[in-house]
Amino acid sequence: MMTSKSGFNTLVRSSPYIMMALLVIPVMGGLIAVVLPAFGWFPVLGQTQFSVDGFVDLWHTPGIGYMALLSVSTSFISTVLAFIITILILGSYFTSPWLSYIQRLLGPILVIPHAAAAIAIGFLITPSGMLSRLVSPWLSGWDAPPDWLYPHDAMGLSIIVGLTLKELPFLLLMALGVLAQPELGHTLRAQHRVALSLGYCPMTAFFKVVLPSLYPFLRLPILAVLAYASASVEIPLILGPNSPPTLAVAIMQWFHDVDLSLRIKASAGAIVQIILTLLLLLSWWRLEKLIKILSQTMLINGKREYAGAIMQNITHVITVVMISTIGLALIGMMLWSVAGFWHFPDVLPQQFVGLHWQSALQQMHTPLIDTVLIGVCATSLAIILTLFTLEAEQHTSKKVSRLSSVIIYLPLLIPSIAFLFGLVWLFEQINSHHSFINVVLAHLLFVLPYVFLSLSGSYRRLDPRFSAVAASLGASDAKIFWKIKLPMLLAPILIACALGLAISFSQYLPTLLAGGGRINTITTEAVSLANGGSRRTSAVYALVQMFLPALGFLLAWALTGLYQKSSLDHTNKEAHANTLN
Amino acid sequence: MLFDKLMFLIKTPKATLNITATALSIFLCASLWAGDADTNGSVTWLDIEARGANQDVYFHAWGGDPQINRYIQWVADQVKQQYQITLHHVKLTDTSEAVSRVLAEKSANNDHNGQVDMVWINGDNFAAMAKHQLLTPLWAAKLPNFGLTDPDNNPAMTRDFGLPTQGMEAPWGKASLTFYYDSLVNHAPPQTLQQLSQWAQLHPGRFTYPKPPDFLGMSFLKYALIVLNHSQPEAVNNLLYQPATLQSQALLLPVLWQYLDNLHPNLWRKGQHFMSNGMALRRLMGDGELSLAFTFSAADVPAAVARFDLPDSIRSYRMQDGSLSNIHFVAIPYNAAHTDSAKLVVNFLLSAQAQAKKQQPSIWGDTSVIALSQLPTAQQAWFKAPTESHPSAQIANQASSPALSEPDPSWTKVIATQWLQRYGVM
């Protein structure tokens, strides 16, 4: 008993350090392994002299300025849009049941991998896509697809659409997660009601009363979204222009170029990418301060109404357009997956066939098993580490320090394109022949922050009186953890599991690089097939990609419901037994 | 404390370099010695068969085509039966990924236990790997089935884009640039490069090529470069098969840029956007956005019709002024963990059985590298085309289109770089 108790305490105490090490060493190691070639150190090519030739090369790349500008503008605009729409939706539907309907409609989008979403959106706006088929030829007169420039427009508008649609559900769900915290949510709703009773219009009440308290909880998710968008590869690759592409896409192409000397330029590009991302984060932070100062007087000027009705109507339109866009894209994917030949401008395929599903499913089982296995391993590790770390935080009764809370977001804030190539080199040094373990570790880097993000709120807000009562009755820390805290946290834990699985399922670059191509998941297969010539096969893979994480969430909800029902039954039986006695 | 650790990490690569040098020299000695042993005949094919059986082989090959993937799966079943070898197809989106991997292994001093046992390769990737000594030399000609390609009469079997293979790779198949079109939309597809330019003027936005450095896009540019210089004196033309110099570029390239300047405004998206890969052309054909496209794997076209990815009215042909032709190969990296097993697999790939299967349009449709004269008559019959294939499998002009050989690999880089400078940035 004594040993198991102290064993638990040791485990709990060391967890934060293990977690930090797991996050810091790969990222920092990977970065160092990229910084060295960036400054000319690349022994395989016989380069052992430090120099800035890589940066000079980068500077002379045609269109480099445009590449950087495209990365910055698309990520910034899409994040601003996603944030504005998020708060518009929250503000407009704060007190209405519609909020949970919208949440339920947008929730699944969160788990759609970026590549799949980009393929779906691309099909919608491409000249032969669903939108153009819906108006052809009766309205547009097009018998053949028009020759317009969307997607792949030079301004990056298609990238902005793709990123906004993908980022919005994440921010919205994060915000709703904050509001779902019993104490905070209750307080904010009460304050909102007070503001309404004082004659504030609902929208103004939200902006003046709820948002200032809500925003601090959204800051890190927003920064993560901004950082991700500035260096993401999948969406700009599928929807963006390529003359020139965004910086991250160009870096990836240089890393993969047969001309090995381009690695030096690619590494220099990765450093520039990090600087760009950091600058973006910094400007967001400064902008936030500026808005805070500017809005100070507005918050307390007592004005009750700022065109709330118009804003609400605009929000309705945005919401409807967004949800129907997503719906139409999904319908398009489903149609493609069963389409025989689909002549333009027909809205529906001439015939429906099961051929694509049949042949895809035949080849899918190994990647499917690997996908699930990797997801389960990475997620379990992440959940265990997160729970122990949070428990350690309560033992020492101080929050994880500011520095370490930034470290948790390190893999989300530093562009993965910058450190993953270095990480592969590190893996080579340590264990090059355990691709599976390498992939799980690489996934853990991205799964851990999200799991932590999703669990920490509920854990920290767990009423301490339960533990206090249990402790006063003589229960050990371990017993309190296993018997009281975990059962009470079952629902958030299951949701965090589902989120972790979803994040793992959607990883492309980490799987490809850490696995050395030996480990195929549904996502790596989907991206390599999206590269191929068949919309039909990629539609099947994209749908499977969406189905897997959705299954995780369904399971989480179902299990929570089942547990609550059974514990309720249990309590009822006990109560019944007590009355009988 | 942390600073010390960082310094340690920074210092490590220096140490690594020394180790690399030592390991490399040991490896070189070892391989020279092994080479001697081979030429002395002390390692026979029977030894290789004995040592290579019962192992795993990791075959890194482009995985974007279900038809090819299925063929490799068939090969895996066969070598399992014959040698108890488990062949894993590592599906690449781009062959350069395998090049990067071997390079990363070399930089990590992994000189004997590499992850790549076999790689499907040709052209630039081969040139790059050969240049950095990433491949096992002098093994291909020792394969028992290599003789079936009749290398004495087919010098092409030992040259990859003009570079001598030095036994670093074994031929696997042949391909030629083949055009295809929708016969319902497009009644008179262009038959020459010059006609293509006029055709594009009449049908703006219905043709494009993938953006360099994509393999297929580069192939179109090389085809254009060769054809546009046809009228030049032979001495000038021959410069294409030598490393590109500033002087030869000045002689050969201007006609290409002139042609493209003329063509681009009539291309899909007015030449302001080019798809990043060759397969995308097929998708755009299926969507009806293009009415003319081209490919290096002609058998892909009828297969795509069967999968409904292309309309039934698709037909294939070769350009009358020539079609760029090349051979693709399989190579074994210098540090492959299962070299002997890989040799057994490659030898099987070169067998009449495997080559005949690969040539069937319904399987892959890739032209065999075997010289049929080397085979007994019964086996020659395996290579006959079946009669009941889709009309798009019949390639018009196949006999009359002269085969154009690949220019020296140095041209690829020259064309790609200058193309990107001219057209890659708006």
CB of A123 within 8 A of CB of A134? no
* Residue A534 near chain B (CB below 8 Å): yes
CA-derived radius of gyration, chain A = 25
Contact A518 B288 (CB under 8 A): no
A314-322 — which CB contacts under 8 Å span 24+ positions? A314/A88, A315/A85, A315/A88, A315/A89, A315/A91, A315/A92, A315/A93, A316/A92, A318/A85, A318/A88, A318/A89, A319/A89, A319/A102, A322/A85, A322/A165, A322/A168
Q: What is the pLDDT of residue A549?
A: 87
**B1 pLDDT more than 90:** no
CA distance A226 to A232: 10
Q: What is the pLDDT of residue B217?
A: 95
A5 compared with A54, residue with greater pLDDT: A54
Distance from CA of A42 to the nearest CA of B (A): 8
Residue-by-residue DSSP string for A74-115: HHHHHHHHHHHHHHHHHHHHTTSTHHHHHHHHHHHHHTS-HH
Contacts of B140 (CB under 8 A, 6+ apart): B146, B165, B167, B168, B169, B170, B346
Distance from CA of A111 to the nearest CA of B (A): 24
CB of A508 within 8 A of CB of A429? no
What's the ipTM?
0.79
| Mutant choice from A130, A258, A403 vs B, greatest count of B C-beta within 10 A | A258
Q: What would the two tokens of residue A522 be?
A: 């549904």
Contact A432 B307 (CB under 8 A): no
Q: What is the pLDDT of residue A149?
A: 67
B194-200 — which CB contacts under 8 Å span 24+ positions? B196/B263, B197/B259, B197/B262, B197/B263, B197/B266, B199/B292, B200/B263, B200/B266, B200/B267
* Residue B418 near chain A (CB below 8 Å): no
* Residue B111 near chain A (CB below 8 Å): no
CA distance A339 to A360: 14
- Going from the N-terminus, what domains does chain A have, and what CATH number goes with each? 1-40+355-574 (1.10.3720.10), 52-137+145-338 (1.10.3720.10)
* A340-to-A404, B120, B293, B308, B310 alpha-carbon distances in Å: 54, 32, 21, 5, 10
Which residues in chain A are closer than 8 Å to B277, comparing Cβ atoms?
Answer: 531
pLDDT band at B228 (very low <50, low <70, confident <90, very high): very high
CA distance B325 to A245: 31
* Three-state secondary structure of A378-420: HHHHHHHHHHHHHHHHHHCCCCCCHHHHHHHCHHHHCCHHHHH
Return the minimum-mean-pLDDT range out of A217-226, A440-449, B1-10, B110-119.
Answer: B1-10
Average confidence (pLDDT) over B315-342? 95
| Closest B-chain CA to A350 | B308
Q: Of the candidates B123, B69, B60, which has an alpha carbon nearest to the alpha carbon of residue B97?
A: B60
Which of B90, B311, B425 is facing A62, going by the closest CB pair? B425
Residue-wise pLDDT tens digits, A263-273 = 889 999 999 99
Q: What is the pLDDT of residue B40?
A: 46
Q: What is the pLDDT of residue A529?
A: 73
Residue-wise pLDDT tens digits, B27-36 = 444 444 444 4
Which residues in chain A are closer than 8 Å to B67, comparing Cβ atoms?
Answer: none
* Residue B97 near chain A (CB below 8 Å): yes
Average confidence (pLDDT) over B231-253? 93
Distance of CA A89 to the CA centre of its chain: 19
Mean pLDDT (chain A) is 86
Distance from CA of A215 to the nearest CA of B (A): 35
Q: What would the two tokens of residue B320 be?
A: 């009358």
Q: What is the pLDDT of residue B354?
A: 96
CA distance A437 to A515: 9
Contact B13 A154 (CB under 8 A): no
- Taking phi over 0 as left and psi of -120 to 50 as alpha, with beta for the rest, A451 belongs to alpha
Contact A260 B99 (CB under 8 A): yes
Which residues in chain A are closer than 8 Å to B132, comparing Cβ atoms?
Answer: 44-45, 260
- Of all residues in chain B, the percent with pLDDT exceeding 90 is 54
Sheet with B314-317: strands ordered across:
B292-295, B178-182, B314-317, B395-396
CB of A156 within 8 A of CB of A232? no
What is the phi/psi pair of residue A150, to 5°?
-100, 140
Average confidence (pLDDT) over A498-510? 90
* Residue B265 near chain A (CB below 8 Å): no
Q: What is the pLDDT of residue B19?
A: 41
| Residues linked to residue A47 through DSSP beta bridges, in sequence order | A42
Range with the largest mean pLDDT of A184-188, A242-246, B200-204: B200-204
Average confidence (pLDDT) over A469-494? 89
Residue-wise pLDDT tens digits, A101-121 = 888 777 777 777 787 888 888
Cα-Cα-Cα-Cα dihedral sign, residues B217, B221, B222, B227: positive
Contact B287 A126 (CB under 8 A): yes
Task: List, as ranges, residues 93-152 from A with C-beta within 8 Å of B.
Answer: 126-128, 144-145, 147, 149, 152
* Residue B13 near chain A (CB below 8 Å): yes
* Residue B35 near chain A (CB below 8 Å): no
| Closest A-chain CA to B290 | A145
Distance from CA of B150 to the nearest CA of A (A): 31
- Of all residues in chain A, the percent with pLDDT exceeding 90 is 30
Contact B124 A258 (CB under 8 A): yes
Residue-by-residue DSSP string for A173-206: HHHHHHHTSHHHHHHHHHHHHHHHHTT--HHHHI
Pairing type for strands B163-164 and B403-405 reads unpaired
Which residues in chain B are closer than 8 Å to A529, comparing Cβ atoms?
Answer: 64
Side chain identity, residue B184: L
B304 compared with B361, residue with greater pLDDT: B304
CA distance A386 to B29: 52
**A47 pLDDT more than 90:** no
Q: What is the pLDDT of residue A353?
A: 94
Residue-wise pLDDT tens digits, B111-135 = 998 989 999 998 888 998 998 899 9
* Residue A535 near chain B (CB below 8 Å): yes
**A5 pLDDT more than 80:** no
CA distance B325 to B333: 25
- State the residue for tokens 């959940």: A383
Average confidence (pLDDT) over A184-203? 90
Q: Three-state DSSP class for A278?
A: helix
Task: List, as ranges, residues 408-427 from A with C-beta within 8 Å of B.
Answer: 424-425
Q: What is the pLDDT of residue B37?
A: 42
| Closest A-chain CA to B267 | A147
* CB pairs A-B closer than 8 Å: 183
Contact A260 B58 (CB under 8 A): no
**A566 pLDDT more than 60:** yes
**B23 pLDDT more than 50:** no
Distance from CA of B358 to the nearest CA of A (A): 19
**B341 pLDDT more than 90:** yes
First CA to last CA distance, chain B: 50
* Three-state secondary structure of chain B: CHHHHHHHHHHHHHHHHHHHHHHHHHHHHHHHHHHHHHHCCCCCHHHHHHHHCCCEEEEEEECCCHHHHHHHHHHHHHHHHHHCCEEEEEEECCCHHHHHHHHHHHHCCCCCCECCCEEEECCHHHHHHHHCCCECCCCHHHCHHHHHHCCCCCHHHHEECCEECCCCEEEEEEEECEEEEECCCCCCCCCCHHHHHHHHHHCCCCCCCCCCCCHHHHHHHHHHHHHHCCCCCHHHHHHHHCCCCHHHHHHHHHHHHHHHHHHHHHCHHHHCCCCCCCHHHHHHHHHCCCCEEEECCCCHHHHHHHCCCCCCCEEEECCCCCEEEEEEEEECECCECCHHHHHHHHHHHCCHHHHHHHHCCCCCCCECCCCHHHCCHHHHHHHCCCCCCCHHHCEECCCCCCEEECCCCHHHHHHHHHHHHHHCCC
**B157 pLDDT more than 70:** yes
Contact B91 A528 (CB under 8 A): yes
**B52 pLDDT more than 70:** yes
Which of A32, A343, A533 is facing B282, going by the closest CB pair? A533
- CA angle, corner A254, sides to A513 and B59, nearest 5? 45
| Closest A-chain CA to B213 | A257
- State the residue for tokens 């708060």: A87
Which residues in chain A are closer than 8 Å to B424, comparing Cβ atoms?
Answer: 62-63, 243-244
Contact A532 B308 (CB under 8 A): no
Average confidence (pLDDT) over B51-66? 89
Return the minimum-mean-pLDDT range out of A335-344, A534-543, B141-150, B252-261.
Answer: A534-543
Task: List, as ranges, residues 160-189 from A with C-beta within 8 Å of B.
Answer: none
Average confidence (pLDDT) over A386-406? 77
CA distance A538 to B226: 36
Task: List, as ranges, residues 435-454 from A with C-beta within 8 Å of B.
Answer: 435
Contact B425 A516 (CB under 8 A): no
* A94-to-A107, A205, A400, B362 alpha-carbon distances in Å: 17, 10, 31, 59
| Closest B-chain CA to A28 | B6
A50 compared with B345, residue with greater pLDDT: B345
Residue-wise pLDDT tens digits, A295-331 = 888 888 888 888 788 888 999 999 999 889 888 988 9
| Closest B-chain CA to A249 | B276
Range with the largest mean pLDDT of A67-71, A552-556, B59-63, B183-187: A67-71
* B383-to-B73, B369, B379 alpha-carbon distances in Å: 20, 11, 8
Contacts of B138 (CB under 8 A, 6+ apart): B35, B38, B166, B167, B168
Q: What is the pLDDT of residue A402?
A: 64
* A409-to-A20, A220, A287, A333, A447 alpha-carbon distances in Å: 11, 8, 21, 33, 11
Residue-wise pLDDT tens digits, A342-393 = 988 889 998 999 999 998 888 788 889 999 999 999 999 999 999 999 888 8
Pairing type for strands B323-331 and B169-176 reads antiparallel
**A96 pLDDT more than 50:** yes
- Of all residues in chain A, the percent with pLDDT exceeding 70 is 94
Q: What DSSP element (H or E) covers A163?
A: helix A157-179
Q: What would the two tokens of residue A207 be?
A: 């902006």
* Residue B279 near chain A (CB below 8 Å): yes
